[in-house]
Amino acid sequence: MRRHPAAFTEMLRCTLIGQLRNRMALLLAVAFIPVWIAVARLCSSDRPVRFSLGSPGTDAVARASHVSQVANALAAVTLVTGFVMFMETFKAGEMDRRLLLAGYPRLPMLLAKVTAVALVSALLALYTTVVLSASVPVRQVGPLGLGLLGAGLAYGGIGLLLGSLVRGELEGFFLVIMLALVDTGLQNPVLNVVDLSGLEMLPLYGADRMALAAAFTSRTPWSYGLLSLAWSAATSALALLVFHLRTRSHCTGAAAATGIPAPVTAAGPSEAAARTAVRRSR
């Protein structure tokens, strides 16, 4: 059991290194977010927009250009986080199964992936908060960052789930794009001209309400942040379940076909061999 923390640290380190080596992910994070916010600023008018913050009697009014920038910032965070976690999980799937066949402990591997979602989401939320605060007169910077963090956690978990579930890369990209576009479009107060029921069931609802309230009012609906955490926990749990079931059946089938007993997790490979295998996978 004492080697589990070392296995977790090594897997998390290699996962984050793989993210840094992903040039497309870095380009999306560094360039796409400020560009998308700038597009919203240039293409929106200054007309006042009234929108609801969720509960009755909590309407707010702000400029359409400012509201669009916050909505686009949320959209950018969801797309980037969803893409990044999907690509990393999908590309590492085969090597993860090989590591498990070699005896690499399963629990540290799963926890490292969930921790990577949280770290990537936190970095993107911090960066987006700084960019957005330079363009919009934000009333509450801290809660705004937490709202963006919630959006990243929700779609990071979705990317993790799709990376463990879908069979092809194209299908995963399509699902991330379509879900993010539909979600952000329905949540955007500038685009919505009627009140729609059922929006609270969407992944971005809690993060959107919290970010809008933080940006344009002095109220902070902390309870809406729990919705994003619930989505993140649910999708991450489903991703871990899918990963567990698929790798378990794969390991069992391989052991039966070769006549060799499945490796015992408690014994596992040597720490040096496991580290070498993880580095080669990235």
Taking the C-alpha atoms of residue 74 and residue 30, their distance in angstroms, rounded to an integer, is 15
Taking the C-alpha atoms of residue 233 and residue 201, their distance in angstroms, rounded to an integer, is 15
Residue 189 banded pLDDT, cuts 50, 70, 90 = confident
Which pLDDT value is given to residue 123? 92
| Highest mean predicted confidence (pLDDT) among 20-29, 193-202, 247-256 | 20-29
Q: What is the pTM (predicted TM-score) of this model?
A: 0.82
Helical segments of 166-270, H only: 169-187, 205-216, 222-258
Taking the C-alpha atoms of residue 235 and residue 180, their distance in angstroms, rounded to an integer, is 15
Mean model confidence pLDDT for the chain: 80
Percent of the residues in the chain that have a pLDDT greater than 90, as a whole number: 26
Quick check: helix, strand or coil at residue 52?
strand
Q: Please check whether residue 230 is in contact with residue 89, taking contact to mean a CB–CB distance below 8 angstroms.
A: no
Considering only residues 53 and 229, tell me which one the structure prediction assigns the higher pLDDT: 229
Q: Which candidate, 74, 109, 115, 132, places its Cα nearest to that of 232?
A: 115
Taking the C-alpha atoms of residue 194 and residue 141, their distance in angstroms, rounded to an integer, is 29
Q: CA–CA distance from 80 to each of 30, 39, 104, 129, 245 (Å)?
A: 10, 17, 30, 15, 28
pLDDT digits (tens, 9 = 90+) for 126-153: 999 999 999 899 999 999 999 999 999 9
Extended beta strands in 112-189, E state: none
DSSP at 102 = T
Q: Which candidate, 232, 267, 234, 278, places its Cα nearest to that of 109?
A: 278
Taking the C-alpha atoms of residue 261 and residue 103, their distance in angstroms, rounded to an integer, is 11
Which pLDDT value is given to residue 15? 81
Taking the C-alpha atoms of residue 129 and residue 201, their distance in angstroms, rounded to an integer, is 25
Amino acid identity, position 269: P
120 φ, ψ (degrees, to nearest 5): -65, -45
Which pLDDT value is given to residue 7? 82
List all residues 6 or more positions away from 24 whose beta carbon is below 8 Å from its beta carbon. 83, 87
pLDDT digits (tens, 9 = 90+) for 53-100: 766 567 888 888 999 999 999 999 999 999 888 988 888 878 888 888
Taking the C-alpha atoms of residue 42 and residue 69, their distance in angstroms, rounded to an integer, is 10
Helices 64-91 and 205-216 meet at what angle, rounded to 10? 140
